[in-house]
Amino acid sequence: MKSLFDPRQAQDFVSRYPTIPPELALRVYTSRLIGADPSLVLHGGGNTSVKLRGKNVLGEEQEILYVKGSGIDLATIEPGGFAGLVREPLRKLRKLSTLADEEMENQLQIHKIRSTSPNPSVEVLLHAFLPHRYIDHTHADLILALTNQKEWEDLLKEALGLQVAILPYLTPGLTLAKGVLKEYEENPKVEAVVVAQHGIFTFGEDARAAYERMVDYVGRAKVFLKRKAYGGALGISPAESNPPEKTASSLARFNQTVRGACAFRSPEGRLRRFYAEVRTSNDLGKAASAPAASRLCSSGVLTPDHVIRTKNKWVSFGEIPEDDGKLKQAVQEAVKGFAQEYDRIFAEQSGAKGIRREKLDPYPRVFLVAGAGIVALGSTRRDARIAADIAEHTLRVKLLADEAGEYTPISESHVFDMEYWSLQQKKLGKVSPPSLQGQVAVITGAGGAIGLGIADRLLAAGAGVAVTDIDGASLGKVRAALIKKYGESQVESFLFDVTDYGAAEKAFQDISCRLGGIDILVPNAGIAHVAKVEDLDPRKFDQVIAVNLKGTFNVIKAAIPIFRRQGTGGSIVVVSSKNVFDPGAAFGAYSASKAGAHQISKIAALELAELGVRVNLVNPDAVFGDEEIPSKLWELIGPDRMKSRGLDPQGLKEYYRQRNLLKVQVTPEHVGNAVVFFATETSGATTGATLPVDGGIPAAFPR
């Protein structure tokens, strides 16, 4: 393992942040070097610190500990991601034999130098107790492959040499900090401390030394494992999130079924669903099929930090059955068994410790699927990805550890302490999630203004959104606009033609592999053609019918097996048109196709109620969009409409505004809000309904 420390880059960091001390700028630099290597830390794991002298408001000199904020990702950390604390009062806490969670949290808050800085890392006391200026801490894969062993002590000594203190597992917080400090005081020459089944700490008087010791010791572990000819597992190539065609169809069905089996009612009565994230490769598929798979799944987390992301144990699942009934039964049995075991351990541990904790949901986050790989679940797509990444690393480390000896899990008691440690739970955030969090929404014809408006409102309500269209260029623009506003994690785009049933099925399979399934379907793709019946080209008529009517039918039909496998209801919100109730001359193809789509949607409302799937319609009128992302429909028919009314583009917008009762310009967001209304549980008693979004057109009142 090579040091990536580059003195020029280091200097760049010092120049980049001229208002902060150079020592802190260098702390940012080497923290990012560590964060950029997923074999050292994953997603907010690990922590780093630096101690500086500074003056308080009275001009009194004091030592300030800057430690990484809890849950902040080292890969992208900024100076503001470090919490500054007065060191001395924290250092004195070593005199205590115990420290209750609430008091620990209190101490960390009252000794911060800025009330607005993030909560410090849960390992802050260790950073405060040790005297070294720079401290780096990781959960490096290669170190964990040695620490999570029956013969951990001998292996570590042989691999890492004598300048390292090797400690048994100690509960993070005060106990760990005191243990490490004692070890240092007995042997001040140590350059690093390894804590069994947890990770490694390295120290240095400057940023480079602490970082390079980390690289050095992890490198020694690698050399040792190689020398022993272990390390087949090290060669496993990174897995893919896009499964090959032969497994895609079964993984899509698996994801849909698993989401259904793991959805649960929250205490406040809301149905909470998960996103699914797939990791697949030949190697992972083989490992998942091997006889050791069930042991790998039940042997727990590598380091306690991971438990809040993946739960301690995983589900080992055999080949995915071809038959939906068998699949559902197998998944439900596996999930039920997992949940019962989780509840049992919770009761046992809280009983043994004599404490009361609010039990978290008992559902699995990671499935190891024979012949396929890993499927991970999360309440947000980011959570699902974090769980999948951690699971992938965990699997490799366990395979490697098995080569080198006998993988030994952390005790259930220790894992329980970490899972239910209030400071750990804080990382996940307790605020009530947005109304559509956990749900996957699919919008067709999303490459225009209305599609953008709908996607925007669904994302704001917390949904994961798949925007789809046949036109890659306009879809790309919409995707970019959404990512700019909401970030990448909740947005995906897919190209397909709604007139082709097979293409719709394939797209929904891809969406299910990528996000888990479908909960909200918004058939929105539409085209128009201006011509009187007398002049209407029959081929044009066919085209409009194919997109507007058949396209709506195709996507509704293709979604039904997914709703059925999930078994958690769902919502279809069809973007219809004011023209259904109030058609216009020379607009026959559009009005007839929309009327047909309206009718098939109402039939779907009748038929899908038994699945808990509600089907509702919104009737917009005259939605134009803006110059950046215009309405494609209006781009197509606008010039003809303008000609027939003798108006310019602005005049045309004004004409439509003046013709409605409220004299409002109907916007894509108005349509999006109506879709969100129908998609949320708020409207749970409504199906088969039509909501006009037209500013009020008496002739188009639904009746």
Nearer to Zn ion, 195 or 504 (CB): 195
CB of 171 to Zn ion, least distance (A): 12
Describe the strand order of the beta sheet including 366-369 as a list of residue ranges.
275-280, 373-378, 366-369, 315-317
Nearer to Zn ion, 33 or 176 (CB): 176
Stretches 198-206, 278-286, 484-492, 569-577: which one binds Zn ion (CB under 5 A)?
A: 198-206
Stretches 194-202, 406-414, 447-455, 677-685: which one binds Zn ion (CB under 5 A)?
A: 194-202
Maximum pairwise Cα distance, the chain? 98
State the binding string over 303-322 for Zn ion (x if CB under 5 A, else -): --------------------
Stretches 9-17, 195-203, 334-342, 685-693: which one binds Zn ion (CB under 5 A)?
A: 195-203
Nearer to Zn ion, 192 or 605 (CB): 192
Stretches 76-84, 152-160, 199-207, 287-295: which one binds Zn ion (CB under 5 A)?
A: 199-207
Nearer to Zn ion, 199 or 438 (CB): 199
Residue 264 and residue 362 in contact, taking contact as beta carbons nearer than 8 Å = no
CA distance 37 to 222: 15
CB of 198 to Zn ion, least distance (A): 6
Stretches 89-97, 140-148, 156-164, 192-200: which one binds Zn ion (CB under 5 A)?
A: 192-200
CA distance 216 to 300: 28
Q: One of 211, 590, 655, 656 is an active-site residue; which one? A: 590
The count of chain residues that interact with Zn ion, using the rule CB under 5 A, is: 1
Nearer to Zn ion, 199 or 378 (CB): 199
**Count of other CB atoms within 10 angstroms of residue 473:** 8
* Catalytic residue list contains 184: no
CB of 8 to Zn ion, least distance (A): 31
Give kind and range of the element (H or E) at residue 166: strand 164-167
Q: Please give the structure tokens belonging to residue 95.
A: 């005199």
Nearer to Zn ion, 199 or 451 (CB): 199
Q: What is the DSSP string of 460-496?
A: HTT-EEEEEES-HHHHHHHHHHHHHHH-STTEEEEE-
**Residue 374 CB partners (closer than 8 Å, separation 6+):** 239, 278, 279, 280, 284, 288, 366, 367, 368, 388, 391, 392, 395
Residue whose C-alpha is closest to residue 442's, from 364, 555, 521, 560: 521
Contacting Zn ion within 39-98 (CB under 5 A): none
Stretches 93-101, 193-201, 202-210, 414-422: which one binds Zn ion (CB under 5 A)?
A: 193-201
**Residue 701 CB partners (closer than 8 Å, separation 6+):** 581, 692
Contacting Zn ion within 415-474 (CB under 5 A): none
Q: Identity (one letter) of the amino acid at 172?
A: P
User: What is the DSSP code (8-state) at residue 439?
Assistant: -
CB of 196 to Zn ion, least distance (A): 12
Nearer to Zn ion, 199 or 516 (CB): 199
CB of 14 to Zn ion, least distance (A): 28
CB of 447 to Zn ion, least distance (A): 46
CA distance 210 to 47: 12
Stretches 128-136, 196-204, 287-295, 431-439: which one binds Zn ion (CB under 5 A)?
A: 196-204
Nearest-CB residue to Zn ion? 199
State the binding string over 577-606 for Zn ion (x if CB under 5 A, else -): ------------------------------
Nearer to Zn ion, 199 or 300 (CB): 199
CA distance 276 to 273: 10
Nearer to Zn ion, 199 or 638 (CB): 199
Rg, Å, the chain Cα set:
29
Residue whose C-alpha is closest to residue 306's, from 197, 403, 226: 197
Residue whose C-alpha is closest to residue 444's, from 496, 399, 510: 496
**Residue 470 CB partners (closer than 8 Å, separation 6+):** 447, 495, 496, 497, 498, 525
Q: Please give the structure tokens belonging to residue 301.
A: 């987390």
CA distance 222 to 362: 37
CB of 190 to Zn ion, least distance (A): 18
Nearer to Zn ion, 44 or 84 (CB): 44
Nearer to Zn ion, 69 or 371 (CB): 69
Stretches 191-199, 230-238, 269-277, 278-286: which one binds Zn ion (CB under 5 A)?
A: 191-199
Pairing of strands 613-620, 690-693: parallel
If phi > 0 it is left, if psi is from -120 to 50 it is alpha, else beta; for residue 622 that is left
Give kind and range of the element (H or E) at residue 193: strand 192-195
CB of 478 to Zn ion, least distance (A): 41
CB of 217 to Zn ion, least distance (A): 15
Q: Please give the structure tokens belonging to residue 31.
A: 């923290």
Pairing of strands 491-495, 520-522: unpaired
Give kind and range of the element (H or E) at residue 278: strand 275-280
CB of 176 to Zn ion, least distance (A): 8
CB of 277 to Zn ion, least distance (A): 24
Residue appearing with tokens 């003056």: 55
Residue 255 and residue 278 in contact, taking contact as beta carbons nearer than 8 Å = yes
Residue whose C-alpha is closest to residue 256's, from 546, 636, 511: 511
Catalytic positions: 590
| Site residues (vs Zn ion, CB under 5 A) | 199
